[in-house]
Structure 1
């Protein structure tokens, strides 16, 4: 099936997103494990990704968990250190697709404020033909609604969208709507998929 647009997730596809790794460096693995066992920080972040205010959510969580208050505030203050580093090969693939005039979209669980923080640090985040950011949409993957809204906005048939994401549940939800999908397990596999689909040649894909 031909591909009319390629859709990238962002976290762990274009930018590494490993909060636990950053906390291990800053507060140590033992305290990080204790904090994550006591506080559902990823659920807090889901609220941000649904459009609630970034700082307000972190402060609310910190105040509710005084034992870890200072550490939880690092989710706000050190956010760019958690959302790093860039995955250069993936960025190169995005840019080569655009040079070929292949429409490239983003579909990412990302907060309104955090996306604004990230764009100056990672200019390629401004290069998508369309960016579907969950915070602005008020819904997160893998809710079927977010995929339906992408389809409605771009006007392309689901079976002509090729989507990559590092999370199986997000891929399964997209496939259920008829999207072509690729589970991202590293940029090389994604590059090979783009070559197999005739969207890039091996040189462009860095193979």
Structure 2
């Protein structure tokens, strides 16, 4: 079955989830950067945000309760959250070129509702996408097979005709379990080489 659809993750594929440099730019010392990375970014609560089970105001309350004596820094972190991601310079041209080569492009991302509402209107690559699935709105996250199957139910695509691109092996495995082809993203040049094995691109 030939590939007709390319499905992209967002974070660390099309957009830099640059949370450490973001925190440094806010003036946090390295101890606080590592503390917040471990106890906020990598915490189960961030996954609950991705699943749409927490608002970020509620998340702030939880983090203040769990990370003692850092209320001011937590407020600063969340009050400036617009700047925690940066679209990669190559993202728009990559998606545009695939679209213009005759393929459909879909976006499938683990992303909190409020942050998606804040960030996604500014992503330049999105105007070339044929559809998007955001975990926070769907209440399901990768690598659950259910989120990949939403491509079928929402957009009528055949998963066997989809190539999925993600930077995490767990999510790649989930896509394969759902019946998709998949490639692990490491860098742009590697991705272009992998795309060339599946589609007429470049």
Tell me which interval the TM-score lies in, with the shorter structure as reference length.
Answer: 0.7 to 0.9
5+ unaligned residues in a row in structure 1: which ranges? 202-207
Offset of residue 53 of structure 1: 5.0
Corresponding residue for 1:22? 22
Match runs of 1:104-143 below 5 Å: 104-143=105-144
Corresponding residue for 1:79? 81
Q: Are 2:164 and 2:182, in contact at CA under 8 Å, matched by a contact in 1?
A: yes
* 1:95-124 Cα deviation digits (max 9, x unpaired): 111223311000000122211211333232
Query: CA RMSD of the aligned region, Å?
Result: 2.0
Structure 1 pair 34–111 and aligned structure 2 pair: CA distance change class (3 A)? closer
Q: TM-score, normalised by structure 1?
A: 0.86
Distance 1:76 1:126 in 2: 27
Match runs of 1:1-207 below 5 Å: 1-25=1-25, 26-37=27-38, 39-42=39-42, 43-64=44-65, 65-84=67-86, 86-201=87-202
Q: Are 2:93 and 2:125, in contact at CA under 8 Å, matched by a contact in 1?
A: no
Structure 1 pair 45–75 and aligned structure 2 pair: CA distance change class (3 A)? farther
Tell me whether 92-101 or 136-145 shows the greater mean CA deviation: 92-101
Q: Are 1:164 and 1:182, in contact at CA under 8 Å, matched by a contact in 2?
A: yes
Distance 2:134 2:200 in 1: 24
Q: Are 1:8 and 1:107, in contact at CA under 8 Å, matched by a contact in 2?
A: yes
Task: Provide runs of 4+ in structure 1 moved above 6 Å.
Answer: none
Offset of residue 13 of structure 1: 0.6
Q: TM-score, normalised by structure 2?
A: 0.88
- Number of matched pairs: 199
